[in-house]
Structure 1
Amino acid sequence: MYLNCHSYYSLRYGIISEKEIVEFAQAQKIPKIALTDINNTSGCLNFVRLSQKVGINPVIGVDFRTGAQQNFVALAKNNQGFKEINDFLSFHSHHKIEIPQKAPLFKEVFIIYPFSKIDLTQIDNLQPNEYIGIHHTELNKLTFTDIEKSYAHKLIALNSCTFRNKKDFNTHRLLRAIDNNILLSKLTAEQQAFESDIYYTREEFQKLYSTKTYLIGQAENLLSQCQIDFDFSANRPHQNKLNYAENKEEDNKLLKELCRKGLKYRYEQESKTIIDRMNMEIEMIEKMDFVPFFLINWDIINYAKSQSYFHVGRGSGANSLVAYLLGITDVDPIELDLYFERFMNLYRTSPPDFDIDFSWKDREDVTRYIFERFGSEGQVALLATYNTFKHSAAVRELGKVFGLPKHEIDILSDGKFEYEKLDKLSKLVIIYSKELDGKPNYLSIHAGGIIISEKPIHWFTATDLPPKGFPTTQFDMIISEDVGLYKYDILAQRGLGKIKDAISLISINQPDKKIADIHHVKPLFEDIHINTLVSRAECIGCFYVESPAMRMLLRKLEVDNYLGLVAASSIIRPGVAKSGMMREYIMRHKNPQRRKQAHPILYQIMPETYGVMVYQEDVIKVAHFFAGLDLGEADVLRRGMSGKYRSREEFDKVQEKFMKNCRDKGYPEATSKEIWRQIESFAGYAFAKGHSASYAVESYQSLYLKCYFPVEYMVAVINNGGGFYSTELYVHEAKRCGAEIEAPCINHSHYPTWVYGRKIFLGFHILHSMESQLAIQIVQERNKNGSFESLEDFIERVEIGIEQLDILIRINAFRGFGIDKRTLLWRGRYLLSGVAKPSPQLTLFKSKPKTFELPQFDQISFENAFDEIELLGFPLCSPFLLLEKPITESHILSKDIPEYKNKMVTLFGYLITVKYTSTNKGERMHFGTFIDENGDWIDTVHFPPVAKKYPFRGKAIYKIEGLITEEFGFHTLEVVSMHRLNNMPDQRFVG
């Protein structure tokens, strides 16, 4: 009778979790129950896992519907039947085809059609595996047909189970209104479930079907023929691809050959330490059956190298020497003394994490390769994530379906109300927003997770085909790992795009210059010029080290080497900062006497970081060596720090064991609590040391390019976007690096920004409102037929409208013709307005330019600058030149700041960026970053009273008054007052 149960994975329809369904079955002593969500299998595997834990026999399937109308219910007889269901559902999902009214000929699947949909004249056509489901409200109707005489054996009790009570039903109706984007009052009966689709008890079901009890018996008989078998035990075998080559022996042989080859590339001399570590890792990798995992990652990297794609391998896998030898990472774990047990130990059931970053331009092709290389029979899919209702979004959705006006919804969403004073509808919005909070809303795609299985993916789940174009599972990473499918992380970032593009630009702009092998990183670490940039924090545009906070930390720590940057890359993370240990680390780093305050055991465990927990493995070391947890329990902490534990209870059990062990060891309770507080603060934020080291490698690679090829590198930064700062700041930095900046030009610019020698021509892509196809057309026409000789020549050869032509003229893209912009604007309008212009490809001969006389136009001061502000978002001249009144007041410059420690000063700065944050009391405060008239940095702190009294008022030059403070050698301006200065008016629009 429980053949058609819905969880909240019947998206925007169901109400309760799969866990609650299992708890209901357990409470009612229901031995067998079926989860059949609507057109979705997201909850199936976890439902099986939870049912098995409490001794319930789970059945899984799908309720196939068109909209809210049921077509048929499919129940898997076994795992093969589940695959058939997934194949069918995936096909219709991928091709955006409605589910048919009639099921296909399944082999291992039971099909149940609702009685209301059955054509009685076609009942003879039912297949042996097909049945008719009778809802309890249809029993009287059944009595008035002849169907029972000949087909009673085909009839079963079918009652959809969707809600537990009236509140659930109301929540369901709200979800249906949200899904249909209509007011609740407009929701029709056809768009929602029956109010009687309740999780009835067994006794209630017996009463409902008391006149036809055989229907229940036949439903139970159907369930008894279904048996699903997935292994969720701790010792389960993994379900990833079993072999990379033909068999395990071939895999093991290949891994060893590749490692020996890698030794020659990575090390000039092969020490016993290196050989022993390599052999130990290989033995462990073979023992844990992770060889194919390493070889598949190597294969992916090999393909990327063949395409000249750059990559960074990070994650806990960066602790592995084998990964370093295979070229998966560029981090030497011997040099960094990386903790092997963080990478792998016998308690660890999952393979190590390899987060492999590619350029944002290359990742999609790498993903395509993986699907083609390993997924010929459907064994590859992207991982999904569940996008859940959050409070604010739920309030907004509910406000709309209740018909509240926008300003009232805004008040409720912002939380700026007194509940008692709300009207009835507003109170309902708040009440039901709590019901929706945390429920799945829709499926999304994991940031980079890909699974490669031995069996077809549809053995485990149906797949969707989002716009990205690759099949995507209907379950998330945690369910995937539960069943033994461990993901490969193929990620994208713009930092690698900058490196790749910079190297390409260098080869074009300076073909005679030799570029270092940036994967051979050790010479970069020892380069005095690169380390000087690090020590001065001159890192604008460089991966992970350009933010104001990171530049400040580099200066405070006086970092001038790779190992120092590795530590800084982790110290900057919120976990270390939040625990208060960032400040403690800096103090111990700069003052050796301070290190004596460290707990002796902690200092012994972590001498490199002065007894301060900085990395994920430090937490594991403390748990293992300080508190005596075994590596399995420590691994729970690892998963917790990565946000990967299944439940908070799992983490809490480890906390209890930690505290108990500390008591048994005689540690003071205050010490134990403080250390646990630090451990907890790491959750979701801490980096593994190998991960930090990988980030530092990429930082050094970008610093190398910034150091030796600054102009080309800054062009690459501008073209790839996605950095901490705006394009304006990177253009400013290019000037500081010695480049001459030119506005877009029809004869020199490309779609991206380009460089000739030390002259940078901004690309058409930067121009606001310029059509990308027009930009591409301009470059193609110029490449094909040569430079444009005049405005008339340009208009004849390029398809362009008046608005787009105006943009090019105003940005001065025709300046090479020696004609002022106003004259060009008049000419352009004359040539284009009202006259049919022949298509460029139909023009056989150049027409003679039309000549006409125009008066001499007055030149307007800074006309170009104002057009640049509108069309580029910033002027190419100094913003200080555009002030309404020149600065005459006495003030200091950024370079003078160290001389004024603990003194009140006045500075003038152009606002670059603001970081908004809060104090421990919840008060708003800010950190500002400005540049002065020389282009040098000014770092400011705005404490709550000042932040409230003197808010930022947009991008502008500000007069800043405050106190110069110094901490750990880094100077900051504590702002006392701040006033925005006005720019001069644009004379074209005055009067």
Structure 2
Amino acid sequence: MFLNVHSSYSLKYGTMNIASIIAQARALNIHQLVLTDINNSTGAIEFIRECIKQSIFKEADDVQEGNIPYNLKPVAGIEFRRDNQLLYFGIASNKEGMRELNEFLSYHNIHNVPLPYSAPEFKNVFVVYPFTKDFNRKLASNEFVGIRNTQLNHLYKHSLLQQKHKLVVWHPVTVSDKITYRLHEYLRAIDLNTLLTKVPDDFKCSKNEFLIPENELKICFKDYSFILENTQKLIDNCDLSVYFEPVIQSKNRFAYTKEGAEFDKVLLRRIAYKGLAYRYGKDNTIALARLEKELRIIEFKKYCAYFLITFDIVRYAMGRCKFYHVGRGSGANSIVAYCLRITDVDPIDLDLYFERFLHEKRTSPPDFDIDFSWDERETIQKYIFKKYPYWHVAFLGTMSTFKDRAIIREIGKVLGLAKDEIDSFSDQTKEWQNLQNPTYKKIKNVHNRMREMPNQRSIHAGGILISEEPITYYTALDLPPKGFPTVQWDMYEAELIGYEKFDILSQRGIGHIREAVQLIAKNKGDIVDIHDFKTFKKDPKLNGILKEGQPIGCFYIESPAMRQLLKKLKCENYLTLVAASSIIRPGVASSGMMKAFIERYHEPDKVVYLCEEMKEQLKETYGVMVYQEDVIKVCHYFAGLDLADSDVLRKAMSGKYRSKLAFDELVNKFFVSARAQGHSHELVTEVWRQISSFAGYSFSKAHSASFAVESYQSLYLKTYYPKEFMVAVLNNYGGFYSRWVYVHELQKTGAKVHLPCVNNSDVVVNIKGDEAYLGFIGIQGLESKFIEIIPAEREINGNYLDLEQFVKRTQITLEQAILLIRLGALRFTGKDKKMLLWDIYTYLGHKQKKLNHAELFNIEHKSYSLPHLENSQIEDAYNELELLGYPLNFNMFDFLKTSYRGNVMAADLNNHVGETVKMVGNYVCEKTVHTIKNTKMWFGTFLDANGDFFDTTHFPNTTPMYPFKGKGCYLILGKVVEDFSFPSIEVLKFAKLDIHLNPVAFD
């Protein structure tokens, strides 16, 4: 009887989640519900699945207890609104009806066309219009008019009585009680960006839009039994039970080839065997056996198309586009993926388990993570969307929720509070004080109800779905700013429906590598085989840089924490780097496992293993479980579980298993099987304790290995071609640090780095020999059109000869020309900045004059003699600081009023362990962490006057008194401490040093 139910997926309108709606319906003994969220079908399949699932479970319980079985029939549709006004809602009679509704809404979303005031001619959809007094038209066979019980008195002598069979019960459901109605009002105010008191009644639901017992609803219509009959008949003609699948079936494209799935098997084998010869040669029996094992599982699980589609994407990228990619994640556990060149991680070399990616008992779909350069990913995405049919390919969506501080701000705004008051309520340090404030208590009450409610739909970072049947059977599509159709639910719902996503991701590290290789070929004439990883990992120079912990600019290993770890480990090989990439993760570090691993790494002979099986499986990591694969190994070799069960247990412990009963059965199976192997109860209990305490934050070894491969590639380029590599890092917007750090690193390579110049600079940084020119794109305030025009015009018509010609050829404005002059970009003229500033006003005046590029006669401006104007180095430095964000030719230390540079330099810290020292450091970055006692402490990174890094620790008892104050140089008093030969400063006192002020400010 309830044809128009809203969940919280009716964003900023509905107040109840799917589970709450079903629970209330069951409590009220309601047997039929139609979910019709506003302009979306996000919750439709979830609603159908959960209703049927709960009915099945409850029926089983009832049979056991001798009660009458309970059934809750789910039906779904979409409510269509335009400009906050209800137009009509559609109810799907079957699966085709859901497709019609979804495609109708998708068309209007994708093409940005307003919804029509009348519904189209649906074939499998019942359309219900809201009752109005003047409703007066002939209704189609599938069209109805919904009438509320409060509107029944308007039926007297109404023309609709001539179409009595078209009237149905309309009791919308939006809230659950008076409290949630108030929440609904807050949501509407937030949505309309207005005060709570100014939300029009027409834009809110009615106060009685909550579920009531079916009998109570029938009583309201007792004098209009034909309306009840019409409503029941409509619901009876709807059946969406096809959407419920006890065992999830894959919805992805079944076959890559036109010939079908059987030909896919043949093709995958052919490509895999060809790749096997490329990777391992022709006589590697171990690799051959592994390949056959994987192919058997892939064929059994019907994932041939999934592998071939991924292979096609990679082949297109490597072949036609010449793009570089990194295949990472658990997909790197597969030798088939390695042979298809989806990944460059050798699973045999690293003892990686295919079962971590795919096995016979896996119910959730795996996926490949393929990284491309940040500026090339869109090309790959366009290829995928063009290759596969319309309605069969879409981006995965995400659902962002209301977050703590954001909710407080939103509630404060609709209450009309002042910004300062809202800010004070968001300040966690004033929590106790705020609790005494009645307004804050009101906000907190609303906040608690709104927290984690859906706020807005967005787009997944890179997940793409390619479906066998039209994806619109399961969702409508949005069109976010990226311009690709996007489903209306997230990856968790996709998994439950049966979709495996193709993760097409991006990162700047790949851009560094790609551009560096191109620059090397252009600047040095050398052709670098960046995929020659087997050579890289054995190179002593590369491993030497790792050991010293100074890989600035290199992907994943340049952060302060990673540099410290590399130095503590004295990391000088690939396997140690793979381990480091895993133990750096917060969970492992905070648990104490990082420290345990470092200790055991340096003293392997003192490691005590629990038993021989644990020693055999964990000797590579000295008895410490570092990877997810370690959990699988221990479960398999120690406890005797098969590899599939071992991975299921690993996944369950990471919180991704939904059935507690099934999980408990697996745990019991672990103990029984381990005891059957001859292990004592005490030993099994201890091994289980270690597994369960680690598995929740473990990291895939294949993922770490993929990162490590890319790190070695970056290291190779930085070691042998440092100038070109650092230019590539700058041109791909750096990495962990601010831009000036990479400019500093470029200067350290011996390159002569020049300020931007209109006759030498390009859009980005360029390098010729040892001379590098900063690009126009780094100049703050310079408009994008001039960033493009200046080098493009120079490329076509040659260098600029003087200021006047530059102005005429580029049509630059006065303000933009001043930026370039202040930065010295017009120094080719031979005139100083102040004279050029005088000249530019002569040409352009205070208002921009239209200069005719195609003048008939070149009339030169009159020149005037000027008095000598002073220029100072510090004035130039301040200009660079303002316009670039850093001074290029003026050390930050030279800004200081003091000449003191500390009594110890970073390179000498190991000789002063235990001593209290003074240092002067140029601020690089800081990191805030929370202690066990929930207090804050900080870690800082600085450069000394020699350009060497050093690190500081700021404990909670010192930092509030001596806080960070942003960029600049600091005087640091602290104790030198050492951890596994890595020195750092425990700060006692800390102050930002005074600098010489900009002389221009006092002119």
Q: Which residue of 1 aligns with 2:6?
A: 6
1:724-803 → structure 2 map (5 Å cutoff): 724-803=736-815
Q: Which residue of 1 aligns with 2:903?
A: 891
1:479-878 → structure 2 map (5 Å cutoff): 479-510=493-524, 512-515=525-528, 517-596=529-608, 598=610, 601-624=613-636, 634-636=646-648, 638-639=650-651, 644-645=656-657, 666-667=681-682, 671=686, 674-675=689-690, 678-679=693-694, 681-682=696-697, 686-833=698-845, 837-878=849-890
Find the residue that maps to 2:337 and give its secondary structure: helix
Q: Which residue of 2 aligns with 1:291?
A: 304
Corresponding position: 1:943 with 2:958: no
Post-superposition offset of 1:95: 2.4
Measure, in 1, the Cα distance between the counterparts of 2:370 and 2:956.
41
| CA separation of 1:974 and 1:652: change in aligned 2, threshold 3 A | farther
Partner deviation per Cα, 1:665-709 (whole Å, 9 max, x = no partner): 613798367425523541xxx321111111111111111111111
Post-superposition offset of 1:902: 1.8
Find the residue that maps to 2:960 and give its secondary structure: helix
Q: Which residue of 2 aligns with 1:371?
A: 385
Q: Which residue of 2 aligns with 1:383?
A: 396
Measure, in 1, the Cα distance between the counterparts of 2:438 and 2:960.
35
Measure, in 1, the Cα distance between the counterparts of 2:964 and 2:659.
42
| CA separation of 1:802 and 1:759: change in aligned 2, threshold 3 A | same
Residue pair 2:893, 2:922 contacting (<8 A) in 1 also: no
Letter of the structure 2 residue corresponding to residue 25 of structure 1: A
Corresponding position: 1:84 with 2:100: yes
Post-superposition offset of 1:735: 0.9
Residue pair 2:425, 2:434 contacting (<8 A) in 1 also: no
Post-superposition offset of 1:880: 4.8
Post-superposition offset of 1:267: 2.6
| CA separation of 1:851 and 1:645: change in aligned 2, threshold 3 A | farther
Partner deviation per Cα, 1:447-498 (whole Å, 9 max, x = no partner): 1111000011111110001110000001111111111111110111111111
Q: Which residue of 1 aligns with 2:82?
A: 66
Post-superposition offset of 1:102: 1.0
Find the residue that maps to 1:4 and give its secondary structure: strand
Partner deviation per Cα, 1:70-103 (whole Å, 9 max, x = no partner): 2112111100110000011111122233322211
Q: Which residue of 2 aligns with 1:472?
A: 486
Measure, in 1, the Cα distance between the counterparts of 2:600 and 2:285.
34
Find the residue that maps to 1:800 and give its secondary structure: coil
Partner deviation per Cα, 1:512-536 (whole Å, 9 max, x = no partner): 2231x21232111122222222122
Post-superposition offset of 1:720: 1.1
Post-superposition offset of 1:338: 0.6
Measure, in 2, the Cα distance between the counterparts of 1:502 and 1:989.
41
Letter of the structure 2 residue corresponding to residue 78 of structure 1: N
Q: Which residue of 2 aligns with 1:321?
A: 335
Find the residue that maps to 2:132 and give its secondary structure: helix
Letter of the structure 2 residue corresponding to residue 679 of structure 1: F
Q: Which residue of 2 aligns with 1:50?
A: 50
Residue pair 2:915, 2:976 contacting (<8 A) in 1 also: yes
Partner deviation per Cα, 1:377-398 (whole Å, 9 max, x = no partner): 3200001111111122111111
Partner deviation per Cα, 1:389-426 (whole Å, 9 max, x = no partner): 11221111111111111122122222423478544433
Please report the TM-score for the alignment, with normalisation by the length of structure 2. 0.94
Q: Which residue of 2 aligns with 1:263?
A: 276
Letter of the structure 1 residue corresponding to residue 718 of structure 2: K
| CA separation of 1:926 and 1:117: change in aligned 2, threshold 3 A | farther
Post-superposition offset of 1:556: 1.0
Measure, in 2, the Cα distance between the counterparts of 1:118 and 1:706.
76
Q: Which residue of 2 aligns with 1:334?
A: 348
Q: Which residue of 2 aligns with 1:349?
A: 363
Letter of the structure 2 residue corresponding to residue 452 of structure 1: I
| CA separation of 1:503 and 1:847: change in aligned 2, threshold 3 A | farther
Aligned-residue identity in percent: 43
Residue pair 2:393, 2:465 contacting (<8 A) in 1 also: yes
Q: Which residue of 1 aligns with 2:1000?
A: 988
Total equivalences in the alignment:
981
Letter of the structure 2 residue corresponding to residue 966 of structure 1: E
Post-superposition offset of 1:507: 2.1
| CA separation of 1:136 and 1:825: change in aligned 2, threshold 3 A | same
Post-superposition offset of 1:946: 2.2
Q: Which residue of 1 aligns with 2:130?
A: 114
Letter of the structure 2 residue corresponding to residue 74 of structure 1: G
Measure, in 2, the Cα distance between the counterparts of 1:836 and 1:72.
55
Q: Which residue of 2 aligns with 1:958?
A: 970
Post-superposition offset of 1:172: 0.7
Residue pair 1:599, 1:611 contacting (<8 A) in 2 also: no
| CA separation of 1:51 and 1:116: change in aligned 2, threshold 3 A | same
Find the residue that maps to 1:841 and give its secondary structure: coil
Post-superposition offset of 1:570: 0.7
| CA separation of 1:841 and 1:831: change in aligned 2, threshold 3 A | closer
Q: Which residue of 1 aligns with 2:16?
A: 16
Unaligned runs of 5+ in 1: none
| CA separation of 1:500 and 1:28: change in aligned 2, threshold 3 A | same
Find the residue that maps to 1:975 and give its secondary structure: strand
Measure, in 1, the Cα distance between the counterparts of 2:585 and 2:664.
24
Find the residue that maps to 2:682 and give its secondary structure: coil
Measure, in 1, the Cα distance between the counterparts of 2:91 and 2:907.
74
Q: Which residue of 1 aligns with 2:177?
A: 165
Please report the TM-score for the alignment, with normalisation by the length of structure 1. 0.95
Letter of the structure 1 residue corresponding to residue 386 of structure 2: E
Find the residue that maps to 1:606 and give its secondary structure: helix
Measure, in 1, the Cα distance between the counterparts of 2:536 and 2:242.
50
| CA separation of 1:544 and 1:136: change in aligned 2, threshold 3 A | same
Letter of the structure 1 residue corresponding to residue 151 of structure 2: E
Measure, in 2, the Cα distance between the counterparts of 1:889 and 1:754.
34
Measure, in 2, the Cα distance between the counterparts of 1:570 and 1:816.
51
Letter of the structure 2 residue corresponding to residue 446 of structure 1: H
| CA separation of 1:637 and 1:831: change in aligned 2, threshold 3 A | farther
| CA separation of 1:847 and 1:599: change in aligned 2, threshold 3 A | farther
Letter of the structure 1 residue corresponding to residue 682 of structure 2: Y
CA RMSD of aligned residues (A): 2.3
| CA separation of 1:846 and 1:881: change in aligned 2, threshold 3 A | farther
1:203-352 → structure 2 map (5 Å cutoff): 203-233=215-245, 235-245=247-257, 246-268=259-281, 270-305=283-318, 306-352=320-366
Post-superposition offset of 1:612: 1.2
Q: Which residue of 1 aligns with 2:418?
A: 405
Letter of the structure 1 residue corresponding to residue 483 of structure 2: G
Post-superposition offset of 1:866: 1.4
| CA separation of 1:219 and 1:932: change in aligned 2, threshold 3 A | same
Measure, in 2, the Cα distance between the counterparts of 1:739 and 1:889.
26
Unaligned runs of 5+ in 2: 56-71
Measure, in 1, the Cα distance between the counterparts of 2:209 and 2:280.
68
| CA separation of 1:814 and 1:643: change in aligned 2, threshold 3 A | farther
Residue pair 1:300, 1:370 contacting (<8 A) in 2 also: yes
Find the residue that maps to 2:607 and give its secondary structure: helix
Measure, in 2, the Cα distance between the counterparts of 1:607 and 1:230.
51
Letter of the structure 2 residue corresponding to residue 394 of structure 1: I
Q: State which drifts further: 896-905 or 687-696.
A: 896-905
Partner deviation per Cα, 1:326-377 (whole Å, 9 max, x = no partner): 0100001111111222122111124433110111101111111101112x23
Post-superposition offset of 1:308: 1.3
Post-superposition offset of 1:599: 6.0
Find the residue that maps to 1:667 and give its secondary structure: helix
Letter of the structure 2 residue corresponding to residue 91 of structure 1: Y
